[in-house]
Amino acid sequence: MPARILNGNAIRDQIKEEVAADLRQLRDLGIRPGLAVILVGNNPASEIYTRNKVKSCESLGIHSERLILPETATTEDLLARVAELNAREEMDGILVQLPLPPPVDAKRVLLAVDPQKDVDGFHPVNLGNLVTQRPGLVPCTPAGILEILKRSAIPIEGQRAVVIGRSDIVGKPVALLLLHRNATVTICHSRTRDLPEIVRRAEIVVAALGKPRFVQGDWIREGAAVIDVGVNRVDGKIVGDVDFEQANGRAGVLTPVPGGVGLLTVAMLLRNTVQAFESQTAAAS
């Protein structure tokens, strides 16, 4: 039986409408949150991503600025720009678009962002808050994955979840989010032995390793929820980390690529921007 394909468009629109409702209340009070997006160099994909983020912000009423630095920008140049934005009260969120061109020290730049303005959720303070279940800004893609599961009525508590990929951006944070919701979580990676057998035991599979069609259909447990985070270009087409056609015959629910998790990332960025504004306002009062 074919899987139930989860509609990323519908879930994205639900979240954006909830954010829009919050923003309308703020607008009635004469308040407009702000987001600054820093782009370095001429990476075509990054240019598209940042343009879409700014457009989405403006469409809901968030003030947004896209700051473009040349390919020759140094670590010190970025640190100076981040310091300026940290000091601007009208900017509630700061996003540094990755990847940064070498030899820029991306870790130093991300560490310089005020944790309260870190709408990507990458700062060690926010990651520490996530580990210890304290309030903080959560990385957008992992947060979006949890929204897909919750809004699609997919059980998490007590389920066996396998996360394939251990990045600081997706793999580790989503594993923590699942763990905090009482799933039993296994994180797999390039050195994991017997990977197919481990995946076969899981009721929830999150594929976030960046290898096209890596996860095969016969790895999937019958009826499992399969969340594909991969975005890979193959022969001019965008495909995920899961072999969609094979998995579609075994999974109970499945996210498509494109049209799945990727759509949630910007929606969660918008929500994080409003949350950043609210937390900074509360801290100042």
Evaluate if residue 167 carries a pLDDT over 80: yes
In the structure, how many helices (H) and strands (E) does the chain have?
Answer: 10, 11
Evaluate if residue 44 carries a pLDDT over 90: no
Task: For residue 256, tell me if it sits in a domain.
Answer: yes
Evaluate if residue 108 carries a pLDDT over 80: yes
What is the per-residue pLDDT for 282?
83
What is the per-residue pLDDT for 206?
98
Task: For residue 278, tell me if it sits in a domain.
Answer: no
Task: For residue 235, tell me if it sits in a domain.
Answer: yes
Q: Are 153 and 242 members of one domain? A: yes
Q: Which of 22, 92, 97, 159 is catalytic?
A: 97
Q: Are 156 and 98 members of one domain? A: no
Q: Are 52 and 150 members of one domain? A: no
Q: Print the domain residue range for 57.
A: 29-115
Evaluate if residue 166 carries a pLDDT over 90: yes
- 16 a catalytic residue: no
Q: For 109-154, how does the pLDDT look when each residue is reduced to its tens digit (9 = 90+)? A: 999 999 999 999 999 999 999 999 999 999 999 999 999 999 999 9
Task: For residue 124, tell me if it sits in a domain.
Answer: no
Q: Are 213 and 173 members of one domain? A: yes
Long-range contacts of 178-186 (CB under 8 A, 24+ apart): 178/146, 178/204, 178/206, 180/133, 181/146, 181/156, 181/157, 182/156, 182/157, 182/158, 183/156, 183/157, 183/158, 183/159, 184/158, 184/159, 184/160, 185/161, 186/160, 186/161, 186/162
Quick one: average pLDDT of 81-103?
95
Q: Are 164 and 145 in contact (CB under 8 A)?
A: no
The half-sphere exposure of 121 on its side-chain side, counting CA atoms within 13 A, is: 30
Q: Are 42 and 99 members of one domain? A: yes
Gap between the Cα atoms of 127 and 58, Å rounded:
28
Q: Are 44 and 104 members of one domain? A: yes
Q: Are 92 and 161 members of one domain? A: no
Evaluate if residue 49 carries a pLDDT over 90: no
Q: Are 57 and 152 members of one domain? A: no
Q: Which of 53, 114, 117, 243 is catalytic?
A: 53
What is the per-residue pLDDT for 281?
87
CATH of residue 183: 3.40.50.720
What residue spans of the chain are helical by DSSP H? 8-28, 44-60, 75-87, 106-112, 124-131, 140-151, 171-180, 195-200, 244-247, 261-284
- 120 a catalytic residue: yes
Q: Which of 114, 120, 241, 243 is catalytic?
A: 120
Domain count, the chain: 2
Q: Are 281 and 174 in contact (CB under 8 A)?
A: no
Strands across the sheet containing 93-96: 63-69, 34-40, 93-96
What is the per-residue pLDDT for 2?
87
Evaluate if residue 284 carries a pLDDT over 80: no
What is the per-residue pLDDT for 249?
86
Q: Are 241 and 157 members of one domain? A: yes
- 53 a catalytic residue: yes
